[in-house]
Amino acid sequence: MYWRTALVILAFLTHAITEMRVTGQTLDVCATCHPNATCEEKVDGTGKACNCMYGFVGNGRTYCQDKNECQIGANKICGQHTACHNTYGSFYCTCLAGYSPSNNMAIFIPNDGTRCQDINECRVQGICGEGGKCTNMQGYFNCLCQVGYQVHNGAEPFHPHQDKALCKAIDCGQPPSALNAVQLSATGTHYGSVAKFGCSEGFFWKSGENSSVCGAESVWKGPSLVCEEIRCGDPPILPHTGQVWNGSTNPGSTVLFYCKEGFHREGGGNISYCTENGFWTKATLSCKEIMCGGPPILPHTGQVWNGSTNPGSTVLFYCKEGFHRERGGDISQCTKDGNWTKATLSCKAIDCGQPPLALNAVQLSATGTHYGSVAKFGCSEGFFWKSGENSSVCGAESVWKGPSLVCEATCGPAPALANTEVVLQNTSVVFHRCLEGFHSWRGRNTSVCDITGKWQAATMRCREIKPAISDLVVFNEKCLRWKADKYEEDTENYRVVFVGFRAYQRSFHDKRKKLLSSTSDHPEICLNLLPVTNYTISITALSARFTSTLTTNTSLQVPQAPEILYREIEAPLPTLWLRRSANTLDPISFYQVFVLPLEGTLVFDCSSLNTPDFSSQRKPHGQYITAQLHLRDIGNEINLTLGDGHYYGGFYNAPLQNGRDYYIILRAVSQWGGAFKHSCVIWAKVRDISYIMKVSSLFAGGSIGVFALAIFLGHCYTWFCKKT
């Protein structure tokens, strides 16, 4: 720039010289001018003169020396904030560093209006670097750090191009921790960041600042908060209450209030909590003393009460005078819920009813039947007052008291009879009656006061009532005996009803009746009871209308021996006869005829259940059953021919052998309901000699065991043989 400006000035100067050469042709003066002078018309018009050109000083002819215009000072010649540059024959101005010319040219010459203005370097963005703050000064600038930044590697102010200093953002790092507090929030770690704190759970803020701020020194300031542990202290005390509290005073602890005994809850909450503020919440439980108030009032009653209305107090009710207790409880108690229990006592006005009758007396007057009423009595006609009170009073027990007057008849007191009471009495007649539990069979029941003034006493005799039939017992299985209660020699008629049944024979039913008249005190009767039967026997004393019942059972009897004709006869076909008892109710079931060959000593067991059969005999000489006759097949009598070769009841009636002697034994067997009873008789002896014997009965009791028979010819033991 400077050089271009210089060339322009040179061109201008060349032109001036040319001019001069033109004039020089006419005037020589001008030709002598210094090259660096100009030829100019003199001011006074007297020719021309050489004048050193601008910037030169000299005579204009011989020399024109350069003039140093800058000598006088840049400020004076070029202006403020300039530098003056002298050149040969001229000079120029430039602006000092930090300033810029107003003509925007590199150089300028004075008085062309150009000024040197301060350059605002701060207009250049980021000239101070990040976080820097530019400050423009006259001719220069400097840098400071912005808020939130701090200078590094130097000091402020600094010049970014000359110093190493620079601005760096402030970072306080992690916020500090505070005792018993927690950080709630933080806006960052840079300058001005704020971290907020709150007390930890169970602690409360007591003082100090809750927040911390990142300061200019890269350090957090604060927090200063002081957190103290929350304690609620002792729970509140409410009147008339107890507490359920585990002693903990920390937040969240609870206290349960309850009304003390004798108090009830009127309202309010019964729980208090220890809050985060360190206070117990208000418990509002209100307890009121339990009072039952006045006891209930029951009609016609009085009370025994000490006036206490607290639970447990009692009131005793009683009926007022003139009233008596009809029913209900007479105590009321004040309960824990504040109510009197219900007393149900019901009192009724005393009413004695009609005044009593007095013996031989009449009622003269009565004021009523209520409590305190008085009835007056006087002796009946024919009687005179002997002692006692004439009046009767209705008492508290609803009973007339009195009269106790004793009126005596003219005959004097009625005769006393043992075990009797007087039913009715007038002047002359007394009716007696046996006391309860006594009776009389005979005699007059009146005592009569006769004209002589003497009692004709009643003749009745009252005896203790006993059952007409007692001590009823069975004897000999079929007979009954009892004790009779009746009047002396009276005859009592008895009806005996007996009903028999058999468990093993459903169709069996034996119901019979028997009448008996007896004067005996110990009557007896024997009944034709059937064997092996359960009987229910009722005996009724007909006039006493008394029945006594017993049950008994009968056993299986030894069968009755049939009537037979004992014979000693000769073979071969003796006919034997038997007639059984006419009683069809006998228990005999069947007859068995045994043939006993007579050989040495015979042994025969009547009770043996063994039934030796002829057909099954190995030895021809053994004993055997030759016939079995069922009762149903026999009429009253039967003639059996021994050895006729027929079968009887499945047994073979084998012919008897010649030249042998036999005993023939008849066994009667009773078989009822599983029981067996036997009886045996010797029916015949078969041999040459014969004589007749009638045997009616023999061994009773087949169950006796072994029947040993010793044979003595022509002889019969008296204990089982009976001559006809």
Give yes or no for a contact between 403 and 361, defined as CB atoms under 8 angstroms apart.
Answer: yes
Residue 287's contacts (CB-CB under 8 Å, 6 or more residues apart) are 238, 239, 240, 241, 259, 260, 263, 264, 265, 266
**Member of 125, 162, 246, 718 binding ligand NAG (CB under 6 A):** 246
Chain positions 36 to 75 lying near ligand NAG, rule: CB under 6 A, are 36
- Are β-strands 149-152 and 140-145 bridged in parallel, bridged antiparallel, or unpaired? unpaired
| 8 Å CB contact between 99 and 78 | no
Q: Output 68 or 616, the one with its CB closest to ligand NAG.
A: 68
Give min distance, CB of 630 to ligand NAG, in A: 16
Q: Nearest approach, Cβ of 338 to ligand NAG (angstroms)?
A: 6
**Nearer to ligand NAG (CB atom), residue 3 or residue 712:** 3
Output the six-digit token pair for 716. Answer: 């019969």
Q: Which of residues 81-100 bind ligand NAG (CB under 6 A)?
A: 88-89
* Strand, helix or coil for residue 72: helix
Q: State yes or no: residue 367 binds ligand NAG (CB under 6 A).
A: no
Q: What is the CA radius of gyration of the chain?
A: 84
The stretch among 21-29, 341-349, 423-431, 512-520 that binds ligand NAG (CB under 6 A) is: 423-431
Give the residue from 77, 64, 72, 142 showing the smallest Cα distance to 108.
77
- Closest to ligand NAG by CB, 269 vs 299, is 269
Q: φ, ψ for residue 459 (rounded to 5)?
A: -105, 5
Measured in whole angstroms, how far is the alpha carbon of residue 3 from the centre of its chain? Answer: 122
Give the residue carrying structure tokens 């209100």.
286
**Given candidates 438, 487, 577, 676, which one binds ligand NAG under the rule CB under 6 A?**
577
Applying CB under 6 A, among 389, 450, 464, 570 the residue interacting with ligand NAG is 389
Residue 708 CB, shortest distance to ligand NAG, in Å, is 32
The residues in 429-458 that bind ligand NAG, with binding defined as CB under 6 A, are 429, 431, 433, 445
Q: Does 306 bind ligand NAG (CB under 6 A)?
A: yes
Taking the least distance from each CB to ligand NAG, the nearer of 589 and 608 is 589
CB 656 within 8 A of CB 597: no
Binding segment for ligand NAG (CB under 6 A), chosen from 153-161, 205-213, 358-366, 538-546, is 205-213
How far, in Å, CA of 402 to CA of 391, rounded?
6
Asked if 35 touches ligand NAG (CB under 6 A), the answer is yes
Could you tell me the two tokens for 465?
A: 């009532």
Q: Does 608 bind ligand NAG (CB under 6 A)?
A: no
Span from 40-48, 296-304, 309-317, 542-550 in contact with ligand NAG (CB under 6 A): 309-317
Segment near ligand NAG (CB under 6 A), from 385-393, 490-498, 522-530, 641-649?
385-393
Would you say 76 or 511 has its CB closer to ligand NAG? 511
Q: Between 240 and 433, name the residue whose CB sits nearer to ligand NAG.
A: 433
Binding ligand NAG (rule: CB under 6 A), the pick from 62, 68, 103, 308 is 308
Polymer length in residues for the chain: 724
CB of 81 or CB of 433, closer to ligand NAG: 433
- Comparing C-alpha atoms, which of 534, 597, 589, 548 is closest to residue 571? 597
Identify whether the C-beta of residue 627 lies closer than 8 Å to the C-beta of residue 656: no
Name residues contacting ligand NAG, limited to 251-270 (CB under 6 A).
252-254, 256, 258, 270
What b/e readout covers 343-369, taking b as 16+ CB neighbours within 10 angstroms? bebbbeebebeebbebbbbebeebeeb
Compute the distance between CA of residue 519 and CA of residue 326 in angstroms, rounded to an integer: 57
* Contacts of ligand NAG in 636-665 (CB under 6 A): 637, 639
Which residues are paired to 440 by β-bridges? none
Do 274 and 251 contact (CB within 8 A), yes or no? yes
Whether 489 contacts 503, CB under 8 Å: no
The neighbour count for residue 86, using CB atoms within 10 Å, is: 16
CB of 246: closest distance to ligand NAG in angstroms?
A: 4
> What distance lies between CA 149 and its chain's CA centroid?
79
> Quick one: 261 exposed, middle or buried, by C-beta within 10 A (0-12, 13-18, 19+)?
exposed
For ligand NAG, which residue of 248, 410, 528, 690 counts as binding (CB under 6 A)? 248
Rounded to a whole number of angstroms, the minimum distance from the CB of residue 495 to ligand NAG is 23
Query: How far apart, in whole angstroms, are the C-alpha atoms of residue 388 and residue 402?
Result: 9
Spell out, one character per residue from 472 to 511, where the chain touches ligand NAG: x when CB under 6 A holds, - when not.
------------------------------xx--------
233 binding ligand NAG? (CB under 6 A): no
603, 610, 600, 707: which is closest to 661 by C-alpha?
Answer: 600
Do residues 629 and 579 make contact, with C-beta atoms less than 8 angstroms apart? no
Interface pick for ligand NAG out of 426, 456, 607, 611 (rule CB under 6 A): 426
Whole-number minimum distance, CB 532 to ligand NAG, in Å?
5
**Minimum separation from the CB atom of position 479 to ligand NAG (A):** 15
Q: How far is the CB of 52 from ligand NAG (least distance, A)?
A: 10
CB of 339 to ligand NAG, least distance (A): 4
Q: Which one of the spans 147-155, 226-234, 323-331, 428-436 is the region binding ligand NAG (CB under 6 A)?
A: 428-436
| Distance from C-alpha of 650 to C-alpha of 615, rounded to nearest angstrom | 10
What does the CA dihedral 298, 302, 304, 310 come to, rounded to 10 degrees? 30
Q: Find the binder of ligand NAG among 80, 117, 339, 581 (CB under 6 A).
A: 339
Q: Closest Cα to residue 478, out of 548, 520, 533?
A: 533
Which of 68, 177, 427, 517 forms a contact with ligand NAG (CB under 6 A)?
427
Please state, in angstroms and rounded to a whole number, the distance separating the CA atoms of residues 593 and 180.
130
Footprint of ligand NAG (CB under 6 A) = 35-36, 88-89, 198, 205, 209-210, 246, 248, 252-254, 256, 258, 270, 306, 308, 312-314, 337, 339, 378, 385, 389-390, 423, 426-429, 431, 433, 445, 502-503, 532-534, 553, 577, 637, 639
